[in-house]
Amino acid sequence: MASKSVKGGKSKGRTNSKRKAVAKSSGTKKLITVLTVILIILLIIAIIFISVKGLWGEIIDYVKTLINGNDETPDDVTPPNVDKPSIPAGTAKLEGDILEMRVLDIGQGDCILLLFPDGQIMVMDIGSEFGTPSPWNVINGALTDLEITTIDYLFLSHTDYDHIREAKKLIDNYEIKNFYFPKGVTGTTDTWNKAYEAAQNETYVENGETKKAVYNENVGTYEISGENWIMKCYTYDEADYPTKTDATSKNAVSPICLLEYADKTIVLTGDSNYTNEEYLLNKKYFDNVDADVLKVAHHGSTTSTCKEFLNQVDCEYAIISTNGESYGHPTPELLDRLDKYVDLVPDDDYNGFAQVYRTDQDGTITVQIDENGVMNIIADENAEKNTTTGTPYVEGEEINEASVVAFAFFKQDEFSWEELAA
């Protein structure tokens, strides 16, 4: 019996040992499971954090640095497989400080982005026709690509929806320093009222100090200027300012502006028409003007851009912002007027219009002027219409850093300074 008792004790001992081993193994598995869940949660949190903060690019660059063992490229060595930005066909290298105007392709409406040579930014109108895609992604995408968070000037030519549609959204998402708006009595729509109210309440931060944005009304003659550039604006005097809300009166308050830089002039018109063109011509504001680029008024309407006005501003290139469908814009009459136009007094410039650009056919149209007065006009979707007043760049020529950086805007990719300088 004693021997059986001893044998039974050994069996019980082994059973307890197995149970302990199983319990230990089970506990280890639970611990591993808990740790795995925690790690997965932490990984998800990390991924969300990195995405929100936009750190993926930096992480990828760091990994590349670890793999390559060197994050610097010698100045005299071109990295392999580097896709350098190229100068668009038919255009010239630019030098020094550059003024750039982009007439954005937003359909039936106006939205113009102005990048001044001193670094200031203006958005002139930001609208498109009701029932068509919003221009927001286009203008916001351009500003985001340029890493712009503060806009120096928001300029609304008049209160029509296709010029002010996303004004409030721009104010809500960016800091605006200065507003140039039409007198409020010319429009009472909800879209206009919201934009007006947002502008009145806008503030921005400068050098750690919160400042109230400056609100200006487009009345009479006034100037907006910076380092080596000036925009001269002309509209009705206070006593003559239209108070009616009919379509003709609302369009007529659009200022006509002459943007001057490096002996070149761009004419900006909003939805100007015969009414205010005649008024301003009688004031002789455009006497002796020799301009270069005309942003055609009112999307190419028949009732705008009269021959007398063309004679006074004397431009060689015209840009029409339109979707080519709504309201029949640009009208055959207007296109024929531009086609047949010749300088009233022949000069050293092209006699008539050398080129007419349309956003519905040519995409976004970009005008660039360098500090020497060399001008490029680039049709985003029609390279055959690219032109320059300088010497067109020939493939293989050395490109200076200023030119490369200027044209990098059109790549919509990210470049390192080493790539740009190589």
In this prediction the pTM is: 0.75
Cis before 330 (ω within 30):
yes
- Which of the residue ranges 91-95, 128-132, 208-212, 258-262 would you say has the lowest mean pLDDT? 128-132
**Residue 36: pLDDT band with limits 50, 70, 90:** confident
Rounded average pLDDT over 302-313: 96
Which pLDDT belongs to residue 1?
45
In this structure, the number of other CB atoms found within 10 A of the CB of residue 243 comes to: 8
Residue identified by tokens 């910076």 is 226
User: Percentage of the chain surpassing pLDDT 90?
Assistant: 67
81 CB burial (10 A radius; 0-12, 13-18, 19+): exposed
Q: What is the pLDDT of residue 348?
A: 78
Question: What integer pLDDT is reported at residue 84 of this predicted model?
Answer: 43
- The secondary structure of residue 92, as a DSSP letter, is B
Phi-psi region of 231 (alpha: psi -120 to 50; beta: other; left: phi over 0): beta
pLDDT at 307 over 90: yes
The phi, psi pair for 222, rounded to 5°, reads -160, 170
User: Which residues, including other chains, have CB under 8 Å from residue 108's CB and lie 6 or more apart?
Assistant: 128, 129, 132, 162, 299, 322, 323, 325, 326, 327, 329
Examine the pLDDT at 167 and tell me if it is beyond 90. Answer: yes
Predicted pLDDT of residue 314: 94
At the second CATH level, the architecture of 98-391 is 4-Layer Sandwich (3.60)
According to the model, what pLDDT value does residue 82 have? 37
What is the per-residue pLDDT for 159? Answer: 94
**Whole-number average pLDDT of the chain:** 85
Does residue 56 carry a pLDDT above 70? no
Least confident range of 283-297, 339-353, 358-372: 339-353
In DSSP terms, which residues pair with 212 in a beta bridge?
203
First and final C-alpha spacing in the chain: 95
Helix (H, G, I), strand (E, B) or coil at 81: coil
| CB within 8 Å of 50: residues ≥ 6 apart | 56, 59
